[in-house]
Amino acid sequence: MRLEDKTVVITGAASGIGKQTAERCASEGARVIVTDIDDGGQAVADEIENDGGDAEFHTLDVTDSDEFHAVVDAVADDYGVDVMVNNAGTGHPGGSLEDVDDAIRDFVIDVNIKGVWNGCSAALPHMKEQGHGSIVNVGSLASILGLPKQAAYSTTKAAVLNMTRTVAAEAGPYGVRANAVCPGFTETQMLEQYLATQDDPEAAQKAMAEDYPLKRLGKPEEIADSILFLASDESSFVTGHGLVVDGGFSTC
């Protein structure tokens, strides 16, 4: 059991990568704290419990710093916090930088940057005090590449990667690691929403897959496995790293 007796807090865990990560961590012995602004996270926690795992759900808006700290403080008081997975994120409709609505830009910044900031800020005091911990932030291929028509998203995901490096440098002396996972296009609800804007979603997905050396898009469980690695002691000498999980897209 790679996470036996450890408590893992996961944001955005009602669906997609977050849901798969919750289930994967539970299968490796973790107590999983499922959080999401969507009440569907309760079903994820219930499913884990029904399968013999240990999970509980907390409603959480990651953009609310006070709420985030309250949830993490309560978890820490009850169990401690061994792993913080800042997975919650959002995208935006494609458009040139000058055409992106200010309200949309600000919302993406609030969720993707401030949400991760809040998660790190809430978890770090507890991890430093206990002398260990692993923070895993979910970035994107956009953390390392400027994606056209995705200025706000690319900006925020690049910030997540450099924030991760800063946290690693600051918290390392306290025994706390921080890493990021940077997925390529993955078969999640966010991808479905993008494809729905295309004239032929099926053809659009096939065309996207052709840009990848593996000739397919990623699956949420594959990203979850990468998060599990960085969360576990198997990566005990890895910190400040952005693990690119993109089927080879960035090599082309």
Helix (H) or strand (E) run with residue 35 in it? strand 31-36
Whose tokens are 């458009």? That residue is 95
For the stretch 74-104, what's the b/e string if a residue is b when 16 or more beta carbons lie within 10 angstroms of its beta carbon?
A: ebbeebbbbbbbbbbbbbbeeeeeeebeeee
Return the closest-CA partner of residue 13 out of 22, 24, 3.
22
Distance between CA atoms of residues 2 and 14, nearest Å: 23
Question: Does the annotation count 212 as an active-site position?
Answer: no
- Among 153, 174, 194, 212, the active-site one is 153
Distance between CA atoms of residues 166 and 71, nearest Å: 24
Q: So which residues are the catalytic ones? A: 153
